Amino acid sequence: MRLSYIKKNGFTLIELLVVIAIISILAAIIFPVFSTAKDKGRQTVCLSNLRQLGTAMQLYTNEWDGLYPASRVIEGGDGNPYGNWAGCFHVGGVCDPTLGQIYSFVMNREMYSCPSDKNSNPPKVTDPKAKPYPLSYSMNDGLSFLNADTMNAPAYRVGLLLHEDVKTIDDGDFNWSGWADGPGGYNAPTGIHSGGACVIYCDLHAKWQPKKQIMADLEAGLWNPYMK
């Protein structure tokens, strides 16, 4: 009687295989959705970071008579390097956002890096002391020390900060002239967020854009602050 009961209420091999197949199909459907949602979450954080950094840039310009901070590493008259907006002192070297020109308006080191680039080791950062690199974003070099009131181009068209590709970033400076992916592969926007990058413009609107669109805008010179 007991054996008959067990046989009646147990699962056959075919039934088990059917259940496993159903679970596999559901997993194949659900897991990509979770992955996409996770990436969208990182993209949202990335946009938030850029908005915070852009606001800090504006506060900096207000305090410095309309002048933007330095986009690239600069050398003083004494031969010593001076940090830029993000605290980079050598191309391919150590970057310390807490020593950057806008940090007093941010006070959060985490905002300088996209979650997608966490613990990344950019190949163009050659100083081993600089890894992992704490920076994901680069500033339009055409804005370096520029007075915001003298810019010829409309502010909504000129990119201020860009999420740069981890393969090319090395100093927090981004060339506006269309040299992206040029000689040596410098200054390329990332494509880590669904084939695109997050950008904040000089009017402080931030958005995601396809990498191809950013490249086309750069090649057309639309990020040139001197071009009407």
Q: Which amino acid is at 38?
A: K
Residue with tokens 């006070």: 107
In percent, the amount of the chain with pLDDT more than 70 equals 83
pLDDT tens, position by position, 76-128? 655 566 789 999 988 999 999 999 999 999 999 999 999 999 888 999 999 99
Whether the ω angle into residue 132 lies within 30 degrees of 0, i.e. cis, is: yes
Helix or strand run (H / E) with residue 163: strand 159-163
Task: Please give the pLDDT value at position 38.
Answer: 78
Give residues with Cβ within 8 angstroms of 46, minimum separation 6.
114, 115, 116, 136, 163, 193, 198
Reference 161, options 51, 39, 41, 45; nearest CA is 51
Task: Give me 228's structure tokens.
Answer: 């009407």
Q: Once rounded to an integer, what is the mean pLDDT over residues 163-181?
A: 83
pLDDT digits (tens, 9 = 90+) for 55-67: 999 999 999 999 9
Which spans in the chain are helix H? 2-9, 13-63, 211-219
Q: What are 216's two structure tokens?
A: 């086309």
